Amino acid sequence: MKKLIIGLLVLGLIVVAVLGLTNSDLLLKSDKAAATAETTETAPAAEPAAQAETPAEEDGPTLVEAGGVDYDAIYALHEPEEVVMTVDGRDVTWQEYFYCFYNQAMGMEQSFQMYQSYGMAMGWESQANEAGQTFAELVDVSAENTLRSIMTVESLAEEKGVTLNEEEEAELEAEHKENISYFCGEDGTEEDLYAYLETIYLPKDLYSRLIRHSYTAKAILRTESEQLTDEEVLSWMEENGILSANHILVGTMNLTTGEALDEAQVAEKTALAQQIAQELQAIEDPEEREKRFLELKEQYCEDHGDYVFGPGVMVEEFYNGTQALAEGEVSDPVQSSYGYHIILRRPLKADDSVMSASGTQSARELMMNERVNQLLQERMDQQQVEYAPGFQAPKILDYYTKPVYTE
């Protein structure tokens, strides 16, 4: 089962998500999401449950009291600087813990609102995962995982001596300024931002750590990737079944409408595909074969892409057809639902951009994402987490009141 907190961060050229957390998730997700109707990424997916509160219909009961969670009451349970837990001996104060608790809870509440906008009831007592846990039961788990992931990245950077370069520092400063204008207006100041952060229980020091989190993860990736050789990357690509191919698609369907061609047209396309493949296979010189391939592709192909891809990205026939070829070899016509593919398998390169379900990323970056992600996850698995004697995570339902409607 997929772990709750996992994934690897990238910003700009890399897709950022170290352990499933981006700056917007860690920082001000609750308020940004309220404006954009996004859902939290750290909250687990759930099936809508009928037990949650639903908005009153236009002709139905009228909302008298909105209800909700009394976060002020929860925050008042401890002093802000009280140490409530340690992670590998490093102190976590109540205000740090509470902000992560609050952030995760607000993200979940926005998920409820999104589902409710589609007419599906969901709330704190709804089932959140296959284990049968409710969202209310997972708030403190998500808060702990958030803190652990932050501290994992920080400790790894300290151990490896990783610091941000000039570009990353500039990006961090730009994001800080964007936060000021976003939350405080174009004329807002840094002091205005810090005053706003207090209203969402986010202390200045924690804000600084959170905004730096994804850039530190990016810097770890950058530093580690600089040590990779092309041979290591190519070996990793081969081990993961990544292939490189160009192809000439002779379609047996209208690629715009999806409608199948008639029998006569299909027969004509079949003959053309066979003719192209035979002509290319007859050319013995690899350079001449590729040159002619590109000429025929320009003339006949109905899809002008060439691809670097792993298992599950392309249609199965295309992947299997490419895998069966030696580098530089041209296939017989390979039939898929799109038509006939005449495939030219190409050699892999360490700096190839690789297609995946989540987008396109360089092979070097993908390899480092996997390697660093494994390292971070291993560290999280080995972390020693201890709570202060007598500390208990708040039970959100103890501070929740349901909405009240008139009959």
* Tokens of residue 258, six digits: 């999806």
Helix or strand run (H / E) with residue 354: strand 353-356
Cα 310 from Cα 351, distance rounded (Å)? 15
**Per-residue pLDDT, 27:** 52
DSSP, res 398: G
Cα 404 from Cα 65, distance rounded (Å)? 5
* Tokens of residue 131, six digits: 């284990």
**Per-residue pLDDT, 402:** 87
* Three-state secondary-structure class, residue 355: strand
CA angle 104/171/217 to nearest 5° reads 55
Cα 54 from Cα 42, distance rounded (Å)? 23
* Tokens of residue 245, six digits: 């191919």
**Per-residue pLDDT, 41:** 33
Query: What Cα–Cα distance (Å) separates residue 209 from each residue in 71, 118, 202, 206, 324?
Result: 23, 36, 11, 5, 50
> Is 262 in contact with 269 (CB distance < 8 Å)?
no
CA angle 113/117/120 to nearest 5° reads 85
Which residue has tokens 């690897």? Answer: 8
Contacts with 83 (C-beta within 8 Å, 6 or more apart), sequence order: 91, 92, 93, 94, 388
Please list, residue by residue across 336-353, b when 16 or more beta carbons sit within 10 angstroms of its beta carbon and e when fewer do: eebbbbbbbbbebebebe
**Per-residue pLDDT, 305:** 75
Low-confidence ranges of the chain (pLDDT < 70): 1-60, 63-64, 407
**Per-residue pLDDT, 45:** 38
DSSP, res 309: E
Helix or strand run (H / E) with residue 63: strand 63-65
* Tokens of residue 273, six digits: 């595909």
> Is 63 in contact with 79 (CB distance < 8 Å)?
no
Domains and their CATH numbers in the chain = 18-228+368-405 (no CATH), 243-347 (3.10.50.40)
Give the Cβ contact number of residue 88 at 10 Å. 14
